[in-house]
Structure 1
């Protein structure tokens, strides 16, 4: 064997096992594995499939020094980034996206879906830069591109052609931002049409705001059912669903479950942008994903933006998103804490229809060693990732912190 990870504690198991890897794939999971190969001792720590990021924006990350944020709302963020995009070049996008991807790798992320903007202002320069990142970092992370119209589609001539070109040039998923168009349902119709033409999955920015009189997710569910796109359609943000009564939330969740429409909640961005219309009793604006899970909706948690006007912070830690979500949404039960971990691992893998994910014999050897014993403890304590592996190759090492007690002889 090429690699044997000893004393690995898997989720839901009390007894450590050994994981054998050959040719980049898991070939054995058993106690006291008798085989020769390079040995890594997990020391009884949790070994989990790598984290999965379903909703991040590599192309516009790390641009705080080019933008201002006075009001801190969605409209300002879109306008500020639109101005900054005029100066983007493929090399500039590559440099910033690489910086962000390296943060993600350092936090144990092994799969990613990045949402990427095209419009007449930026053209395909962002795509060109990110495509090179996809190729150059394949040794540590698989990155999928979702192309979408941040500044409108039907009301922004030339954007449609650019989205088609991006799908022809390497984007695998098509997205939307209907609230930026004068005809939101028209944009949704066109995106489903593109998806059918290119046999692409769909991942939309949707129902961002507080006005619950109209929910576009209802129309998305209708089209997903009509076109047989259940299990291939996801919506992100959906902050309006945090403002509806519980009965309405259950009704919408049931509709999403039946249509096979998944939900991605973006705790950091939604918390930062929501509640700007109030000077007191500010709303959190983060939809309680764990309640949608209980209705049968597949859900994920994700980072969204890093160091830009939409979210002026971020270290690309999916465990941090799980912990933040638990705090915001009053998650306390052991089962719900476990689900917070699942929403940054196996559930987003399902959302992205990854066929080779998970610690099972035959799957790609993409996993992390986390400095704790269980998923819920890892979420609660924000436990560091000590090591990461991609196709059986070690891609990350992090040393544990050491306390220098008086007299220990280790002060220097």
Structure 2
């Protein structure tokens, strides 16, 4: 049934909400094998109470939205984006297929990266993410020269301050491993990042084409000294000999790193012999590592060639990671650039791709968690289910979907921020044609 049209943009209650199983207590009542619908009471911009239906009706005239079973999720975390590259695709010519060809195209385009260009493109991406329902966004910024702060880093720092009441923005310095083999270089780079302001992290590009365990060890040490968490691009390739993730899982404790490491991509797991890949995941499960899968970009980028249908896909082993209790998030990655010509910074669109590519069962009840668990990015946050009561009323309501069809039929949605509906129309943000 279609939810009733609200007569207010600040509801005091959401009646008949379909919440995912992972967000509910174990004793939540069931109805026909699914969690009973819920009523969420909202007060002062926060979720005051969550109760299963049926419940007593509120007083006459209460500003209640009747959702009639529409799925409802907490605000999204965009765990892995590249706002510095976003939307440059339409202005490029032909790009050589694959990861290295995309890197070449970005390098060639950088001469156009003025402050105005970066600000317009990154702000467009932020607006799209915000309107999709995202409350926290982590974006990588290319930082290839250890001696020079990228212009994009400073511009994004300004935007993070301006957007602080809408989206919590984190910046990851995506550095090359090679120069970090010099301990002084790694330490100076980490110190510069730590001093650049809040929400800054150290990152790196870990790939077999430049594999350097000594440099990665120095990167870990530098991050530890500056109390920085790490967010790494790891094994974004289908080379079965790639060993970045396995090395990290074995060596994190040995290097005495006590933060949280986020590892994006890990595509090589899908190309390795089963026993080796699963042994690596067993080690990851014992380490403070969160995995991030980037299905849209990696499905387009891996095993890519002109005029040839890909035989291998780029999705990492998401089911096997979940079975082992490894924190797993799904991110948008690149949007309309040489790495990925599509995308919209809508986390639900990204999960749609993962559901199809990974044959994921129960997307709403199980896998929607991979879009919402911001605590899985944090150094000291507990990794148990967070619940909703007492939290800000930052919610996404899917008016046309149901528990069976989600994450399809999700383009139409209502987004609440601190209990108030926002404008989700992105048409004014489209680039000129």
The Cα RMSD (Å) is: 3.1
CA distance 1:159–1:189, shift in 2 (3 Å) = closer
1:349–1:378 CA distance, 2 compared to 1 (3 A): farther
What residue number does 1:340 align with? 367
Q: Take 2:310 and 2:98, find their aligned partners in 1: how far apart are those partners?
A: 17
CA distance 1:224–1:383, shift in 2 (3 Å): same
Indicate how the Cα distance of structure 1 residues 294 and 143 shifts in structure 2: closer, same or farther if over 3 A, else same: same
Distance in 1 separating the partners of 2:169 and 2:370: 18
| Number of aligned residues | 394
Change (3 A) 1:25 1:152: farther
- The aligned residue for residue 196 of structure 1 is 224
- Extract unaligned runs of 5+ from structure 1: 400-412
| Pairing 1:109–2:145 present | no
User: Partner of 1:11 in structure 2?
Assistant: 20
Sort the Cα spacing of 1:159 and 1:229 in 2 relative to 1 into closer, same or farther, 3 A: closer
Shift of 1:152: 5.5
Secondary structure of the corresponding residue to residue 86 of structure 1: helix
Match of 2:251 in 1: 223
Deviates more, 1:260-269 or 1:118-127: 118-127
CA distance in 1, matches of 2:45, 2:256: 35
Q: Distance in 2 between matches of 1:10 and 1:165?
A: 43
Instruction: Determine which of 343, 353, 360 is the counterpart of 1:314.
Output: 343
* Deviation string, structure 1 residues 368-398 (Cα, Å, up to 9, x no partner): 112256556312x242352112233332457
Query: Contact 2:236/2:268 (CA < 8 Å) preserved in 1?
Result: yes
More moved, 28-37 vs 243-252: 28-37
- CA displacement at 1:355 relative to structure 2: 5.6
Aligned ranges 1:367-406 → 2 under 5 Å? 367-371=395-399, 377-379=405-407, 381-397=408-424
Within 2, Cα distance between the matches of 1:228 and 1:372? 49
Q: 1:37 to 1:229 in 2, by over 3 A?
A: farther
Inter-partner Cα distance in structure 2 for 1:377 and 1:125? 43
SS, match of residue 378 in structure 1: coil
Unaligned runs of 5+ in 2: 1-9, 22-29, 427-433
- 329, 351, 356: which one aligns with 1:300: 329
Residue 66 of structure 1 deviates from its aligned partner by 3.9
Q: TM-score, normalised by structure 2?
A: 0.81
My pick for the range that moved more, 90-99 or 131-140, is 131-140
TM-score (norm 1): 0.84
- CA drift of 1:155 comes to 8.1
The alpha-carbon deviation at position 284 of structure 1 amounts to 1.0
Residue of 145, 150, 154 corresponding to 2:171: 145
How far did residue 34 of structure 1 move?
A: 4.1
8 Å Cα contact 2:105/2:338 also seen in 1 = yes
